[in-house]
Amino acid sequence: MDIKLEAIIFDVDGTLAETERRGHRVAFNKAFEQEGYPYSWSDELYRELVKTTGGDRRIARYLTEYQDFEPEEARALAKKLHPIKTQLFVDTILNGEVPGRLGVARFIKSLQEAGLRTAVATTGTTKWVHPLVQHLSEEGGFEPFEVVVTGNEVDRLKPAPDLFQLALQRLELEPNQAVMVEDSRNGVRSAMATGGACVAVRGEYAHAEDLEGADLIVDSFGGDEESALKVLGNPWNLKVGRMLTPELMVELHRRRLQS
């Protein structure tokens, strides 16, 4: 029996929206300032720190590696600062300061119109992820995601496969019935670990990362002639136009199953 493509599961940070540089990084710095700590993460430093998934883990890493905190002390301060940072980030979302990536709303809407289910699996916390995906849905004119899985709900974050596995479980699907959309090396590794297909839409903080293993690597979701995507990796020799489409996802899924 043929196995049909049933769902597309999206990462959030860097995938649905470029949240890192103008959202998370700014909120981390505001939290430090608000609590009286003389720390400020430059864009260059944040490109390195973002490789650590989970905001509290990111703060703890910074405190131990760059400020000589003892690990236990760093974890305690991170636990205190992270909720403050999260609220500051939620405020930026509610103020409409975190737009979706170019072409992503068009792509999601086209998937839904083609009868494909859509879901989210992200290391982000529930408190900010739900407001953001709701905002993106309302702003982009597409239906809400059927399933949203956040980092609060699993023991292991990406590159472990737990988030995608939980999303698949809630969708009542097997990995070979879905395509996962990511933007970074950790995300691609997480998707690959499920055994399912993965499309990498390189994010702004992943420009130098090795995304090998993804079934298709592009620089954007694409759009009109002026915003056409660029193919960076195409192991299945797919015929890729100027934008990601449901038809392309179905063909990618078919070729992968036949390999």
Q: Which positions are annotated as active-site residues?
A: 11, 13
Termini Cα distance of the chain? 16
Backbone dihedral angles phi then psi of residue 117, each to the nearest 5 degrees: -80, 150
Instruction: Indicate the length of the chain as a whole number.
Output: 259
Distance of CA 214 to the CA centre of its chain: 14
Q: Is 223 exposed, middle or buried (0-12, 13-18, 19+ CB in 10 A)?
A: middle
Among 178, 167, 181, 176, smallest CA distance to 116 is for 178
Element (H, E) at 54: none
Among 2, 5, 1, 3, smallest CA distance to 249 is for 5
- Beta carbons of 205 and 50 less than 8 angstroms apart: yes
* Most distant pair of Cα atoms in the chain: their distance: 62
Mention every residue, 6+ apart, whose C-beta is less than 8 A from residue 187.
11, 15, 158, 159, 200
> DSSP letter at 100?
B
User: What is the rounded CA–CA span in Å between residue 11 and residue 149?
Assistant: 10
